[in-house]
A and B are shown apart, each in its own frame.
Chain A
C-alpha cells in the first residue's frame, strides 16, 4: 500500500529519527558511564 508522500514522509522522518536518536542516546550513556568510572578510579587510586 502506498500511503502517499505526506504520510510516507512522516514515517521516513520518524524511522530515521528513531535510529539516529537511539545512536545518540547510546553514545551519551556510554560517555556518562565512562566519566563516572574514571572519577571512581581516581578516587580509588587516592585511597590506596
Chain B
C-alpha cells in the first residue's frame, strides 16, 4: 500500500516537476534554455549524496546490531546510488558539452562524483564475490563508509579547488537566483525525493524476497 501511494505520487510528481521546469520557471538570461537541464541534474546529484549517507547509516546499524535488515537497507541504497550517480554524470555531461564545449571537464567536482559512483559499484561487486551472507554484509561496510567520506569532499570541492563546476544557487552560500527558478528547483527536489523513497521501498521488498528464497533454498538442500 505504501509502495502504491509512493508510486502514484512519483508518477504525478514527475509531471508536476516537468511543468515547473519547462513552463513555470523563466528562461535564464546567461545560459538560455540549456539552464533547464539543471532542474533534473541537481536533484539527481543531491540524491546521489543521500544514497551514500543512507548506505553508511545502514552499514553502521548492521555492524551495531548484526541484523540483516540493515544490510539489505545498505545495499538497496548502494544500487540507487549507482542509478542517481549515473544520471547526475550523464545530465552533467550533456550540459557541459554545450556550456563548456567538453563532455568531461575533469575537475574535482566531476571526478569526485565519478569516484562516488565507482565506490557504489565497488561495494556491489565486492558483495557479488562473497557467497557467505554474514561475511558479505560485514566486509562490504568498508565501501559504504568510503562512499560517506567522499560526499563532504565532493561537496567542498568547488570551494577548495579551482573547478569549472558552477557554485550552488541554493542555501546560505548560494547565488542570487530568480525566486521562480528556486521554486522550480525545490519542487523538482521534492518530487525526486519521493521517487527515491518509492524506488527504495520497492527494492527493499525484493531484497526481503531474495533472502526468503535464499533461506528456502538452504532448507530444501538440507532436507
Which A residues are closer than 8 A to B by beta carbons? 1-5, 7-9, 11-12, 14-16, 18-20, 22-23, 26-27, 30-31, 33-34, 37-38, 40-41, 44-45, 47-48
Contact = CB atoms under 8 A, between A and B. Distances in A.
B212 interface: yes
A14 B39 CA distance: 13
Contact of B91 (A2, A15, A41): A15
A31 to B, nearest CB: 8
A23 B84 CA distance: 9
A28 to B, nearest CB: 11
Nearest to A48: B220
Interface residues of B, number: 42
B41 A11 contact: no
A2 B31 contact: yes
A48 B199 contact: no
A9 B33 contact: yes
A20 B94 CA distance: 15
B98 interface: yes
B65 interface: no
6 contacts: A9-B33, A26-B83, A30-B199, A41-B209, A44-B217, A48-B216
B33 to A, nearest CB: 3
B210 interface: yes
B34 A8 contact: yes
Contacts, number: 98
Given A19-B91, A27-B199, A27-B202, A2 B216 contact: no
Contact of B32 (A2, A19, A44): A2
B62 interface: no
B199 A7 contact: no
A34 to B, nearest CB: 5
Contact of B87 (A1, A4, A5, A19): A19
Given A7-B98, A45-B216, A15 B37 contact: yes
Given A18-B91, A30-B203, 10 more contacts: A2-B34, A12-B22, A12-B33, A19-B40, A22-B86, A26-B199, A33-B206, A37-B209, A37-B213, A45-B216
Contacts of A31: 202
A44 B213 contact: yes
Contacts of B70: none
Given A8-B34, A18-B94, A34 B199 contact: no
A3 B32 contact: yes
B49 to A, nearest CB: 16
